Structure 1
Amino acid sequence: MTKLAIIPFTIVLETIFLNKKFSQSIKASLMVLLLGVGIASVTDLQLNLLGSIIAVLTIAATCVGQILTNQIQRRLKVSSTQLLYQSSPYQSAVLLVTGPFVDKLLTKRDVFAFNYTVEVVAFIVLSCSIAVCVNFSTFLVIGTTSPVTYQVLGHLKTCLVLSFGYIILRDPFSARNVAGILIAIFGMGLYSYYSVAESRKKTEAAISLPVAAQMIEKDSAPLLGAKGSPRPENKSEDSFDYMPRTAKSAFTGR
């Protein structure tokens, strides 16, 4: 449920603070996607105060973080690797200081009291290595596309996890799960189609503007003089006003 709420919350934040416009087609396709993922993944829903507070904070932090990741890369023109290199030390420091206390608050167990065997440490190192790859791909996808597109990709991952869980691990799978996954995939297809179509329109509009400006400049060039001042009206060759000064003096004696 928390993951499903991230896309609507992201759209609201980008609309309010960044004046970004989402077409009705994009919104409709996202609604189909969220409906499908909800049918496939949401089963038992139990709410409590602590979990609800953490869920709201998670939604807000995720949305703001992903929006800032996209905006920083675009405005400062930095790559995902550069941004990850600059932000990772601060993220690591915050987690190192707050992580053990939050973990103890939620689980009632001290993380340092655990018996860390060689096998456990090996899996922790493996998990951290995978996390680094996930962070890199996250920054890369968000910087190249958008936070909403990244969340759509995340829902695709959810559908794949459910599918492979049934195929490989033989997890329980019902007609509801199948219907939800099919609806979600259909919504992803609609979102991809409308996103590509709108991106193509923006690209064509961006290309047509300089071409139109060049055509206007070319059409107005004969009407301007050497320094950009308007040229005199065209005169016929036998016009007295168009004659050079020497020719005029021959007729007028001046």
Structure 2
Amino acid sequence: MWYFQNIVFNIYNKKVLNLFPFPWLLASFQLFVGSVWMLILWSFKLQPCPKISKPFIVALLGPALFHTIGHISACVSFSKVAVSFTHVIKSSEPVFSVIFSTILGDNTYPLRVWLSILPIVLGCSLAAVTEVSFNLQGLWGALISNVGFVLRNIYSKRSLESFKEVNGLNLYGWISIISLLYLFPVAIFVEGAQWVEGYHRAIQAVGKPTTFYIWVMLSGVFYHLYNQSSYQALDDISPLTFSVGNTMKRVVVIVATVLVFRNPVKPLNALGSAIAIFGTFLYSQATSKKSPKKIEGSFKQGGNGC
């Protein structure tokens, strides 16, 4: 379900952005759908509602800010380049994780871990150089997204150490709500003046307003669903299993979106993508001895999001 929902999200997210190239509004809507979804689950007691306190909200402010940066940057990247290219660049997240964790003093890594990130850098570089749809904004968006999600993981572990009783799904729900409050006012400032004109162009291009509405709704619903599925899975699997699963997920998403959107892929581009993803797999293996069996109340190794 995690893979299937992620594929559906990526397809309809890109379909909407092709017609309505306003990632700030779309990213805000996706957070809004997730926020409403969680409020419904809590209201009908389908999901246990965590106890809310001022210290808990304060502890979430930092991780939510970095989550917002990661989410909007990924959406900007999706709007500028092929979905497959964004996912290849986002597979380099372990590189940023190792670097920032070392700089901030959160962790130290053995030589095998540093060696495992070399093929990730090589593969992403090769894929970027040979990418047909290359766009500098798309590249920077994916890279900044990696930084955002890595810092979210680091600071959530730091600030949420006292709230380990909060499970992953509830934590993600509150992160979504606070992120929406961060993002939407900025979205209005950045692109709000263009929304009405862009909406009319999108409706004219698609022909049927209902089709456009369905695509937007699917992008929002499946953005939350695939995140929910991943956190439910994390309740029963180790961070290492999740990290390997996340690597394979990118392979599935890349192949699916290439087939759906018929993006041209050069042989060297495919080779670079394969090397980068294989490097991510090596990283997960190299860090396996450092991974605890279970980490409650924080974002697990490998991150999540777009």
Give the TM-score normalised by the residue count of structure 2: 0.48
1:61 partner amino acid = G
1:109 paired to 2:109: no
Distance 1:54 1:194 in 2: 28
Give the aligned partner of residue 216 of structure 2. Answer: 124
Pick the aligned partner of 2:109 from 19, 22, 28: 22
Distance 2:285 2:144 in 1: 32
Structure 2 CA distance for partners of 1:120 and 1:173, relative to 1, 3 Å: closer
Give the aligned partner of residue 210 of structure 1. Answer: none
1:67 paired to 2:161: no
Distance 2:183 2:173 in 1: 16
1:97 paired to 2:185: yes
Task: Note the 1:17-166 alignment, pairs <5 A.
Answer: 17-43=104-130, 47=136, 58=145, 60-72=147-159, 74-77=161-164, 78-104=166-192, 109-111=194-196, 114-115=199-200, 117-136=209-228, 145=239, 156-166=248-258
Structure 2 CA distance for partners of 1:72 and 1:110, relative to 1, 3 Å: same
Distance 2:145 2:121 in 1: 18
Cα RMSD (Å): 4.0
1:40 partner amino acid = A
| Cα distance per residue 1:63-119 (max 9 Å; x no partner) | 322323344555421211221232322222222322122224xxx723576246332
Give the aligned partner of residue 286 of structure 2. Answer: 194
1:9 paired to 2:96: yes
Sequence identity (%): 22
Greater radius of gyration (CA): 1
8 Å CA contact retained: 1:4, 1:34? no
2:199 partner amino acid = F
Distance 2:260 2:144 in 1: 35
State how many pairs are aligned. 193
8 Å CA contact retained: 1:29, 1:190? yes
Give the TM-score normalised by the residue count of structure 1: 0.56
Structure 2 CA distance for partners of 1:34 and 1:183, relative to 1, 3 Å: same
8 Å CA contact retained: 1:6, 1:59? yes
Give the aligned partner of residue 303 of structure 2. Answer: none
Distance 2:245 2:179 in 1: 24
